[in-house]
Amino acid sequence: MRLCRALAVLGLAAALSPPAAAAAAQQQKQHIGLHDMTCTGIMAQGKGLARNASFDLTLVDQDDGGTLAAKKVRSSAEGEFMTRLPARLNQVLSVRLVVARPDGTKVGFADHVMAKGAAMCNLPFTGPSRATLLLVSGTATLGLGLLLVAATRRDRSPVRLRRR
């Protein structure tokens, strides 16, 4: 009788193992990542997630805790998403992407860390190009110089000596 019970328990455990193993395998196939970081944004990617589900993405600066970008995405029929998060990443050393369900439960996260002192885009944003302004003021200065040279030549007329 004990042997039958032990075999029944082992059989039940074996029957329940494949779903547990499949769930563990699914968890291991899940991937959340950050790719292609530039000065103006970063690509966020997720695989192995719930199919056709909505997710809230939040990109956080880990140094000061500020939110750099937020976006809502929907996974595909394969449980994947890929989207670009526009954000100013000037002087940012470390970012974290947090993926959460609409109810706020966190699904996962991904970190991207730059080498210390090597922040992305360490050159400041200087604004629009000033080429047009420089070209106009240079041309105006050159024209003013030519006018001044022409005006001084008119006053220099050859002096004629008169004979008496």
8 Å CB contact between 41 and 34: no
What CATH number is associated with residue 52? Answer: 2.60.40.10
Given a cut of 70, whether residue 121 has pLDDT beyond it is no
Q: Could you tell me the pLDDT band of residue 24, with boundaries at 50, 70 and 90?
A: very low
pLDDT of residue 149: 86
pLDDT of residue 123: 55
Is residue 59 situated within a structural domain?
yes
Into how many domains does the chain fold? 1
* Percentages of the chain per state (helix, strand, coil), in multiples of 5: 30, 35, 35
Phi and psi dihedrals of 90, rounded to 5?
Answer: -65, 125
Is residue 128 situated within a structural domain?
no
Is residue 39 situated within a structural domain?
yes
Query: In 10 A of CB 83, how many CB atoms?
Result: 16
Q: Could you tell me the pLDDT band of residue 93, with boundaries at 50, 70 and 90?
A: confident
Given a cut of 80, whether residue 57 has pLDDT beyond it is yes
Is residue 104 situated within a structural domain?
yes
Q: DSSP for 19-57, please give it.
A: HHHHHHHHHHH-EEEEEEEETTEEEEEEES--TT-EEEE
Is residue 21 situated within a structural domain?
no
More confident residue, 89 or 122: 89
Is residue 74 situated within a structural domain?
yes
Task: Read off the amino acid at residue 41.
Answer: G
Lowest model confidence (mean pLDDT) among 23-32, 48-57, 89-98, 109-118? 23-32
Average pLDDT of the chain is 80
pTM of the predicted model, to two decimals?
Answer: 0.57
Given a cut of 60, whether residue 101 has pLDDT beyond it is yes
Is residue 78 situated within a structural domain?
yes
Given a cut of 90, whether residue 84 has pLDDT beyond it is yes
Which residues form the domain of 60?
A: 30-122
Is residue 62 situated within a structural domain?
yes
More confident residue, 98 or 2: 98
